[in-house]
Structure 1
Amino acid sequence: MANKLDIESTLLFEQPFAKVPYENYRKVFRTSAKHIEREFNALQNNSKDISNRFKSGNVPSEDVVASIDNMIGRMETLKRKLSDLHETAGKPTQDVMRERLQHLGQLEHMQSMNTPEFARWADTRLDRWLVDWCLRNGKEQTAKRIAHDKDIEILVDLDLFGDIRRIEMALERHSCAEALAWCSENKAALRKAKNTLEFDLRLQEYIELCRAEKKQEAIAYMAKHIISWHATHLQQIKQASGLLAFPPRTTCGPYKRLYDASRWVNLVKSFRQTIYTLNTLPTEPLLNLSLYAGLVSLKLPACFDPSTKNVDCPVCDGESGTDSQAKGLGRLAAEVPFSQHSNSSIVCEISGKIMDADNMPMAFPDGQVYSREALEEMAAKNGGIVRCPRKGTTCEFSKLRKVFIS
């Protein structure tokens, strides 16, 4: 079947769609585990204390009852915390995971891309990708409007990108507080990934103290937050220490670069890269990635020759794809390589198979060409009659002409 649905290829773009809520649920689970471990250790210590006091033989019953009441109180507090965590984060995340997996599961019941069911599913996917593009490009209100109008709020990551935007805006205001709070919440994951975003943020706060010439505060900040990174960042720490002797107006290259305001721009980029990695998000919008996949198969040198431009070709759209003034998809195509075909291949529209000497092309009287295998199968099912899927014309199989590839 020419338009048979390839579920495996379709799902290649959907990994972040399922992984983002999964990572959020893992975070909820880790938080719950920390609460349980901390309270369990406290209960064990209280139990041992009561046991040791019993062995001593001098334990007033009132103290024992008070200790047990204290243990019961801690357990009730733990139960309340876990219940609140489940209601505020755990259950909503479960609902998101369920809805998204059900959305992907619809593909299992679709056999062809020509069905109305797949058309509706693909429309929803395109809406999701448009929301993703808007969120990545700072068009938050547009993204929310699309998500609301299409009723797909649960299928897009509005909250995640809201947090990203909030922290990036703080960094643009030269404040590291929000980003450091995020690092604290994700400390274990950052440590596992050997990510140094927290060090970069701490170093920037130290630099700002030096810029304000608050040397005593800078020394105290260095001792409290930066020295602990000496095992992996000793050289940077040594250089940063020199800022105490070099004012912001210095012309000395290494220290002038540390004072450069462009470091804030790099921090924004570093934060975005880090949070994308932790949430398994691609750095490019999914809409761009899908367009790249199609454009790379169409891009040819002829698209950039004025004498061979095709008005129906998306790569030829607007100005030259290598021109900074390129328009439309032509500009997006500039970022993908040319399609390379050392040998031409002709693919049958009916079967999707390559036509060659073993499966040679056969032509209808009006010139439409399809593979012999597909037409023989069609003729066997229809009493020797074949039908052109493009134009709907029919003829006997014996009326077809062989086509030779040269």
Structure 2
Amino acid sequence: MATNNMNMDGMMLFEQPFARVPYENYRKVFRTSQKNIEKELSALQTTANDLMKRARAGEGSPEEALKAVEGMIKRTEILKRKLAELQNASGLPTLSVTRERLEHLSTVESITSANGPEFARWADTRLDRWLVDWALRNGKEKTARSIARERGIETLVDIDLFSDIRRIENALTRQSCTEALAWCSENKAALRKVKNPLEFDLRLQEFIELSRIRNLMEAIAYQKKHLIQWQDTHSAQINQAAALLAYTPATAFGPYKRLYDTARWTSLVQSFRLAIYNLSTLPTEPLLHLTMYAGLASLKLPACYDHETKNVDCPVCDDSFGALAKEVPFSHHVNSTIVCRLTGRIMDDDNWPMAFPENGHVYSKEAREI
């Protein structure tokens, strides 16, 4: 670790999602592989035990036993092919991305000064990553891909992840839960672990849509198949939604009218976004905003919002950055620093503060020479 004026702990705090995203992706590949192996091995074990029992009982012909063994071999070959395809399509690329990202982070540990060209290059790459992250979160995927390609940082950004997020969000905007439910199925264990109700909310919405078009028989069947299993934790919502079978969107009132409100789709988009950000260990705010918050919090003063004392060189005094700075607390300065509003320079022993006798306004000595 570098032992200079660089705050490595603070820098690495911002880089946690950068390293965790490919790690979580590989965990998903591992879980999928493990599930396939357990499923196929269980089937093979069942077939082998059945063969053993029939052999001991003297049942079955050699041809039937041979056919069963060939079936076991075929299942094993299919499993091998599935695992190889999964590893080549997702496993090895994810490992490569993880390796490159860790190497990118390790380079900063050997940098001895924040003022040197090595850190400047690393910081430029970091800024490019944050710009790509901001573009992806704001639906500007073409811009993000263009920046990543021009800067050569395709493996250092999560374009594919945000592309999937945008695809599922667009489907929800079109009032389709299919893609989101498929994602919930792939991440069922993780969602259950954090007690996230997204899958139930999606299932409930599909029931509501069946009630909206008055397909009542299918709605009842859907409720029995997909909602009853949530009875222990969401009984009140299920019982309330069941009343939609008796109310149309035109006759519904109170809570039943709110269930028919199409604004629920917007809430589902937000719920899905929070769920996938949580599972992918991504912050809900763009990393660019988080770093700007940190910088603005160290500069923000009450004077920044005084129209008469604004400093042209202060980011917080700027109207655009000032709006972002409203989200952060004022900075805490043990010792005051006085800055000349004319020159933007700090007033100290070499640049004395001087006051006009007429109005008492204070300016720096250097301002006298302007």
TM score, norm. by length of structure 1: 0.81
**Structure 2 match to 1:98:** 99
Q: Percent identity?
A: 62
**3-state SS of 1:291 partner:** helix
**Structure 1 match to 2:9:** 8
Structure 1 residues 251 and 78: CA distance shift in structure 2, 3 A: closer
Structure 1 moving runs of 4+ over 6 Å: none
Q: 1:332 aligns with which of 317, 324, 331?
A: 324
**Structure 2 match to 1:146:** 147
Which amino acid in structure 1 is aligned with residue 166 of structure 2? R
- 1 CA distance for matches of 2:215 and 2:51? 52
**3-state SS of 2:15 partner:** helix
- 2 CA distance for matches of 1:220 and 1:330? 55
- After TM superposition, give the deviation of residue 11 of structure 1 in Å: 0.6
Superposition pairs of residues 2-401 of structure 1, within 5 angstroms: 4-250=5-251, 252-318=253-319, 328-341=320-333, 343-344=334-335, 366=350
**Structure 1 match to 2:362:** none
Q: CA RMSD in A?
A: 1.9
- 2 CA distance for matches of 1:28 and 1:125? 27
Q: Does the 8 A contact of 1:22 with 1:97 survive in 2?
A: yes
**3-state SS of 1:138 partner:** coil
**Structure 1 match to 2:361:** none
Which amino acid in structure 1 is aligned with residue 313 of structure 2? D
- After TM superposition, give the deviation of residue 61 of structure 1 in Å: 2.4
Which amino acid in structure 2 is aligned with residue 31 of structure 1? T
Deviates more, 1:215-224 or 1:228-237: 215-224
**3-state SS of 2:241 partner:** helix
- 1 CA distance for matches of 2:42 and 2:217? 40
- After TM superposition, give the deviation of residue 6 of structure 1 in Å: 2.2
Deviates more, 1:211-220 or 1:235-244: 211-220
- After TM superposition, give the deviation of residue 250 of structure 1 in Å: 2.8
Q: Where does structure 1 lack aligned partners over 5 or more consecutive residues?
A: 319-327, 347-362, 369-406
**3-state SS of 1:307 partner:** coil
Q: Does the 8 A contact of 1:5 with 1:110 survive in 2?
A: no
- After TM superposition, give the deviation of residue 330 of structure 1 in Å: 1.3
Q: Does the 8 A contact of 1:39 with 1:75 survive in 2?
A: yes
Larger gyration radius, structure 1 or structure 2: 1
Q: Deviations over 1:357-392 (max 9, x none)?
A: xxxxxx99x579xxxxxxxxxxxxxxxxxxxxxxxx
Q: Deviations over 1:244-292 (max 9, x none)?
A: 1111013521111111111111000000000000000000000000000
- After TM superposition, give the deviation of residue 77 of structure 1 in Å: 1.2
Deviates more, 1:243-252 or 1:305-314: 243-252
Q: Where does structure 2 lack aligned partners over 5 or more consecutive residues?
A: 338-347, 353-370
TM score, norm. by length of structure 2: 0.89
- 1 CA distance for matches of 2:77 and 2:174? 43
Q: Does the 8 A contact of 1:25 with 1:94 survive in 2?
A: yes
- 2 CA distance for matches of 1:260 and 1:66? 58
- After TM superposition, give the deviation of residue 107 of structure 1 in Å: 1.3
Q: Does the 8 A contact of 1:3 with 1:114 survive in 2?
A: no
Structure 1 residues 106 and 286: CA distance shift in structure 2, 3 A: same
**Structure 2 match to 1:376:** none
- After TM superposition, give the deviation of residue 211 of structure 1 in Å: 1.2
- After TM superposition, give the deviation of residue 64 of structure 1 in Å: 2.5
- 1 CA distance for matches of 2:149 and 2:251? 53
Q: Deviations over 1:30-70 (max 9, x none)?
A: 00001111111112112211211221134432222222222
**3-state SS of 2:298 partner:** helix
Which amino acid in structure 2 is aligned with residue 64 of structure 1? A
- 2 CA distance for matches of 1:220 and 1:234? 17
**3-state SS of 1:98 partner:** helix
- 2 CA distance for matches of 1:142 and 1:127? 12
Structure 1 residues 120 and 215: CA distance shift in structure 2, 3 A: same
